[in-house]
Chains A and B, each alone.
Chain A
């Protein structure tokens, strides 16, 4: 039996020849060269490293590789290819919800996680859904508007 950890990454079956204690964030960036996830804090506070694991929002800095056996992981690079992303991207652009962009990949994954659970969220439900994603540039309200718009424009997708 191999020492590799087998899981699904952005729809593809992959093997990672890495220790079980390694951090998913580091493996994504350095082993798989997917640099959409950022290390903003390394403490699970800022959300810049957020991914979807089995469809649920997770901070990849808090995930040890050994826990991923058989799981499905989606990063922003995988999400980018979907129709839902196109709606979210357009909404974020229109609302001016991106400034420096450091929080943006995580913020978009949180947006997807929120809308897939709650396709028509209220203002406070959006804020709660994004509460684990810190942004210093925008003041958040323009991001909340982007999510509202995506929910409206993408009716039927979520």
Chain B
């Protein structure tokens, strides 16, 4: 046996809403638009030639079982943002301020990756009907602001045809709740919510007024191409949520700073259990992505993080937040409660690559990093005097 010991002075890192997805999707989308340039094609035209379709294989040899609505989503994004026309119009600019517009097309897996849901998590939920015919949801999933108490309660209320006030879900106490798994991986509404939906359907069928009843549901793994952890092949996820984002910018060639003048997000999350909560996820995730792509610089020097305070790690303020326009595409998934899929992580993914694409468009350059800062942009802009006269 050979043992190799490595010493590193870099800081351990962890998941950032999307768990590797945001980083990869930025790279994929940006490579695709660079390839489009090399092929002499408009970015969207090139990407459309490579859209996946229902029934096709995933990169890990799994399958896209559900309808893929990218064409419809791109059309909607285009009509809301006027992307195609602006893409052409902004190619011919002079002067100090330059506009740009960029689009990103992306997906995110819903639920836990691979076979972990079946082999490790083995989620169990419990639904109790008290003697006074009020309902309590017993799950280990935690509402930390994403509205889980509301969404899970709405699912149960709708099945049982009861007013929301009759459904209770309190902060989980592991003495009382079964292990329905962690509140991660965009799984709470889709996976845990589905189990509650099933439990509620059984309760409705066997309802006995005035009596205490309890129903448990255990996770059942859908029939998929099994995930092989050794070869990393198979269905990584039971289904995917999809997004198309457009970001429009105005770049100041004097300072290499950009103003974000418009942001649009079209999402396929299956169905929305609660419109306000979904809007909060869409807008919050999109702004987080804009920060991620444009200002959240974090570098290590000799093993120390340089931006190690809230003063120096720059996130957007209310004054930096642009108007965000969103729209949902209905695409119900039978494995989710009332068709709902995962939403928590997807909404972060798209705005960083769309922002970079917009800046590339405005400055007529290729960018290769996020955040793409004014400090990165200034290196690639010619002396301002020359461009101004152009």
- In the complex, are there CB atoms of A and B closer than 8 Å? yes
Chain A interface residues toward B at CB < 8 A? 40-41, 43, 45-46, 95-96, 98-101, 124, 126-128, 130-144
| CB atoms of A139 and B146 under 8 A apart | no
B288: CB under 8 A from chain A? yes
Interface residues of B in 106-150 (CB under 8 A from A): 144-147
- Residues from chain B with Cβ under 8 Å of A141 in the complex: 283, 321, 323-324
Interface size on B, residues (CB 8 A): 25
- Residues from chain A with Cβ under 8 Å of B315 in the complex: 134, 136
The main secondary structure of chain B at its interface with chain A is: loop
Q: Which of these binds chain A: B203-211, B247-255, B274-282, B355-363?
A: B274-282
| CB atoms of A140 and B321 under 8 A apart | yes
- Residues from chain A with Cβ under 8 Å of B172 in the complex: none
5 sample A-B contacts, Cβ–Cβ < 8 Å, listed by A number: A96-B279, A96-B280, A100-B145, A136-B284, A142-B283
| Docked complex Cα distance between A95 and B275 (Å) | 11
| Docked complex Cα distance between A41 and B316 (Å) | 15
B302-326 Cβ-contact flags toward A at 8 Å (1 or 0): 0000000111000111110101100
Chain B nearest CB: distance from A107 CB in Å?
A: 9
| CB atoms of B310 and A142 under 8 A apart | no
Chain A nearest CB: distance from B52 CB in Å?
A: 29
B287: CB under 8 A from chain A? yes
B286: CB under 8 A from chain A? yes
| Docked complex Cα distance between A133 and B310 (Å) | 12
- Our pick among B284, B310, B317, B323 for the contact of A138 (Cβ within 8 Å) is B284
- Our pick among B144, B147, B311, B318 for the contact of A140 (Cβ within 8 Å) is B318
A100-B310 contact, Cβ under 8 Å, with A138-B280, A138-B283: no
| Docked complex Cα distance between A67 and B140 (Å) | 47
- Our pick among A43, A99, A128, A132 for the contact of B147 (Cβ within 8 Å) is A99
Chain B nearest CB: distance from A92 CB in Å?
A: 12
4 new A-B contacts at CB < 8 Å, known A124-B319, A140-B287, A140-B317? A96-B276, A96-B277, A137-B280, A142-B283
- Residues from chain B with Cβ under 8 Å of A134 in the complex: 310, 315, 317
A139-B286 contact, Cβ under 8 Å, with A43-B310, A43-B311, A96-B280: yes
A43-B309 contact, Cβ under 8 Å, with A99-B146, A101-B145, A138-B283: yes
- Residues from chain A with Cβ under 8 Å of B284 in the complex: 99, 136-139
- Residues from chain B with Cβ under 8 Å of A132 in the complex: 317
Chain B nearest CB: distance from A101 CB in Å?
A: 6
- Residues from chain A with Cβ under 8 Å of B283 in the complex: 138-139, 141-142
- Residues from chain A with Cβ under 8 Å of B311 in the complex: 41, 43, 45
Chain B residue with minimal CB distance to A123? B323
| CB atoms of B279 and A40 under 8 A apart | no
- Residues from chain A with Cβ under 8 Å of B319 in the complex: 124, 127-128, 131
| CB atoms of A143 and B145 under 8 A apart | no
Interface centre among B317, B318, B321, B324 (most CB of A within 10 A): B318
| Docked complex Cα distance between A144 and B283 (Å) | 13
Chain B nearest CB: distance from A12 CB in Å?
A: 32
- Residues from chain B with Cβ under 8 Å of A101 in the complex: 145
Interface centre among B279, B280, B287, B288 (most CB of A within 10 A): B280
A131-B279 contact, Cβ under 8 Å, with A43-B310, A101-B145: no
B292-309 Cβ-contact flags toward A at 8 Å (1 or 0): 000000000000000001
| Docked complex Cα distance between A41 and B321 (Å) | 21
| CB atoms of B280 and A144 under 8 A apart | no
Interface residues of B in 57-86 (CB under 8 A from A): none
- Residues from chain B with Cβ under 8 Å of A130 in the complex: 317-318
- Residues from chain B with Cβ under 8 Å of A133 in the complex: 318
| CB atoms of B317 and A131 under 8 A apart | yes
- Residues from chain B with Cβ under 8 Å of A137 in the complex: 145, 280, 284
Chain B nearest CB: distance from A123 CB in Å?
A: 9
| CB atoms of A99 and B280 under 8 A apart | yes
- Residues from chain B with Cβ under 8 Å of A100 in the complex: 144-145
| CB atoms of A127 and B318 under 8 A apart | yes
- Residues from chain A with Cβ under 8 Å of B324 in the complex: 139, 141
- Our pick among B280, B310, B316, B323 for the contact of A46 (Cβ within 8 Å) is B310
| Docked complex Cα distance between A95 and B276 (Å) | 8
Chain B residue with minimal CB distance to A100? B145
